């Protein structure tokens, strides 16, 4: 049985979410934290839908950052929590939305400092990651998180869903007031797409800085959606 599926963000991996996963398991929940590294959006969606199909009841999906792109496409879930996440509609891509922000603001949006590595993948500068991904995370946890980061192919910015499922299930968006990885205008747009939203005083990674609070929300959201009949 799987109650909750955690979908990691780009540059991240399942181990980044160990603290949150352990907190949720301590509350009696069964989890899946699949590794989506270098999978296409279609392949990521298929992998998660296989997990959903094997669950006794529809699970709740938590998508962090780019994990929200996959979360928004998976069918058969009980609901979705978008945690400082990208929430795309069909035909949208991160690159397209960032270009829209640049056109509106007249300057490129601030974000992560990325540089190609020897394989051509984009790596995050460690100092930049500390400041812009883990700004409110304690030093020990932030150092481990930085060490766990993996370079990503540039194609991550081109991920474009051809269909989405987020309109079909209850959804909650959690934005971070100190999030430096997603432009505030996009976070506001994503939040408006959900049934409900919250803004926390946090950086891009509240699963590390406010682990228990994230677990509280996930647990309550799961109880809530499982009390509700499926949407028609």
For 30-58, the pLDDT digits (tens) are 999 999 999 999 999 999 999 999 999 99
For residue 45, what pLDDT is reported? 98
* Lowest pLDDT segment from 79-93, 186-200, 214-228: 214-228
CATH fold label, 4-227: Rossmann fold (3.40.50)
Where are the chain's structural domains?
Answer: 4-227
Q: What is the mean pLDDT of residues 114-127?
A: 91
**pLDDT > 80? residue 169:** yes
Nearest CA to 15 among 115, 147, 177? 147
How sure is the predictor about 69, in pLDDT bands with cuts at 50, 70 and 90? very high
Using the structure block, give the residue that is written with the tokens 């989890």: 31
Q: How far is CA 50 from the centre of its chain?
A: 19
C-alpha torsion sign, points 184, 145, 223, 3: positive
**pLDDT > 90? residue 231:** no
Q: Tell the burial category of 90 from Cβ atoms under 10 Å away from its Cβ (0-12, 13-18, 19+).
A: exposed
How sure is the predictor about 102, in pLDDT bands with cuts at 50, 70 and 90? confident
Mean pLDDT for the chain overall: 94
């Amino acid at each position: 049985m799987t109650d909750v599926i955690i979908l990691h963000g780009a540059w991240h991996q399942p181990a980044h979410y160990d603290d949150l996963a352990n907190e949720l398991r301590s509350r009696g929940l069964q989890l899946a934290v699949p590794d989506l590294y270098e999978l296409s959006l279609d392949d990521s969606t298929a992998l998660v839908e296989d997990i959903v199909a094997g669950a006794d009841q529809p699970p709740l999906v938590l998508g962090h950052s780019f994990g929200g792109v996959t979360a928004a496409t998976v069918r058969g879930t009980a609901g979705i929590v978008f945690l400082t996440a990208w929430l795309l509609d069909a035909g949208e891509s991160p690159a397209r939305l960032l270009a829209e922000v640049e056109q509106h603001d007249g300057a490129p949006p601030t974000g992560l400092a990325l540089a190609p590595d020897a394989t051509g993948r984009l790596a995050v500068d460690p100092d930049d990651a500390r400041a812009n991904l883990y700004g409110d995370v304690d030093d020990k946890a932030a150092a481990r998180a930085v060490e766990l980061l993996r370079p990503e192919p540039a194609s991550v910015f081109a991920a474009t869903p051809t269909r989405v499922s987020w309109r079909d299930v209850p959804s909650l968006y959690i934005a971070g007031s100190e999030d430096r990885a997603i432009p505030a205008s996009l976070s506001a747009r994503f939040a408006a797409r959900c049934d409900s939203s919250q803004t926390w005083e946090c950086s891009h990674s509240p699963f590390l800085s406010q682990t228990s609070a994230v677990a509280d929300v996930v647990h309550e959201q799961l109880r809530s959606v499982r009390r509700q009949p499926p949407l028609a």
